Amino acid sequence: MTEAVKRLVAGTEIARELWLLSGNECAWPNCTVRLLNENDDWVGEIAHIRGVAATSARHDPSMTNEERRAYENLLILCPTHHEQVDKPKGRVIHTVSDLERIKERHEDRFRRALTAIAESQDEYIDLTRHSVVRPCKTLARFLPDNDHEERMADAVTVNRFAELLGRVTLASRGLLYVVVEHKGLLGVEEAARRNGCSPHRIFDLVAELDRNRLAWVDPDDDRVRNRIVLTKGFNHPILDGWDFFESLITFASERSDVALKDVIVGLDFTLLD
C-alpha cells in the first residue's frame, strides 16, 4: 500500500546539524543574509530539495515521508531564496541536482572549519584537559633589551597572567587566540562564521573573557560591528599598564618558531624564554 504523503517536521538533531553547517548564512551562493540577524531574529527557513506535497517543487513520489524530512533533502535558505526556488518559475530553473550541489558546497565550507577546530582540540588535549601552564623563566627572547632584574620582575607578571589564562576554558582561549591573531579587529558575527557557531555562543565566550578582563564587545566601534576588543594593560590588574597582547603579537610576528596558539591556547610560556 502506498504511503500517504504527510509533512513531517525535521527532527531536533537534523535541525541542529543543518544550523551547525550553515555557518549562520543562507546557503544560496553569494547571499549575505544572516540566518540569525543583528536583532537576534531567526530568519532562516528549512527548505526541501524534493518537495513534500504532490504539487510542490521537485516532488518525488517514490520517496517516503521520512526520506523527505531527512538531512540529505534539506537545506537552510533565507526567505527570499526559499521563495525563489519554490515558485513556479523556480521549480523549472532550479533542479534537484542544482540544489544538492548548492547544499554540498555551502556545508563543505563550514565542515572543513569544524574539522580544523576538532583537530586543534585534539592537538592540545594533553595540555588543555587540566589547563596545565608551562611558566616562563627568563623572558630572554621576549624582552631581550631589558636587564636581568627587569626580566625577572616581568616574568612574575607574565606567569600570573598565564595562570589566569589557565583558568579560562579551552573554547574561550581558542576565541581569544583568534582575536589576537586578527589584532583585535574581529566582530562577533565574523567570529561566529569562522567557528561555525551562533553569535550567541560567541557572546557567551566573550562574557567569560570579559569576567577575566581579557576581552569585551564594543557595539559602537566604527570599524567593526560588535568588535571583540582586547583588553589593554591599563585595564588589567595583573598587567598594570603593560599592553601584553600587542607585545605578544609583535614577538610572534618576528619569529617563525613561535606560534601564538601555542602560547594562548597551549599555555606554553616557555616559548618566551
Q: Are residues 207 and 103 in the same domain?
A: no
pLDDT, tens digit, 9 for 90 and up, residues 217-265: 988 877 888 889 888 766 688 888 888 988 998 998 888 888 888 899 8
Question: How high is the pLDDT of residue 181?
Answer: 87
pTM above 0.85, yes or no: no
Residue after which a domain boundary falls, among 94, 115, 136? 115
Q: Are residues 17 and 134 in the same domain?
A: no
Q: Which is it for the CA torsion 22, 24, 25, 26, positive or negative?
A: positive
Question: How high is the pLDDT of residue 118?
Answer: 56
Q: Are residues 132 and 184 in the same domain?
A: yes
Question: How high is the pLDDT of residue 11?
Answer: 73
Please give the tally of structural domains in the chain.
2
The count of C-alpha atoms lying within 13 angstroms of the C-alpha of 146, restricted to the half-sphere facing its C-beta, is: 15
Query: What single string gives the DSSP state of each residue in 173-225?
Result: HHHHHHHHHTTT-EEHHHHHHHHTS-HHHHHHHHHHHHHTTSEEEETT-SSST
Look over the chain and give the mean of its residue pLDDT values, rounded to a whole number: 84
Q: Are residues 144 and 257 in the same domain?
A: yes
Q: Indicate if the pLDDT at residue 127 is higher than 50.
A: no
Q: Are residues 143 and 265 in the same domain?
A: yes
Q: Are residues 85 and 215 in the same domain?
A: no
Question: How high is the pLDDT of residue 234?
Answer: 62
Residue after which a domain boundary falls, among 57, 89, 115? 115
CATH number of the domain that 248 lies in?
1.10.10
124 pLDDT band, cuts 50/70/90, is very low
pLDDT, tens digit, 9 for 90 and up, residues 36-48: 877 777 888 999 9
| Domain range enclosing 184 | 126-272
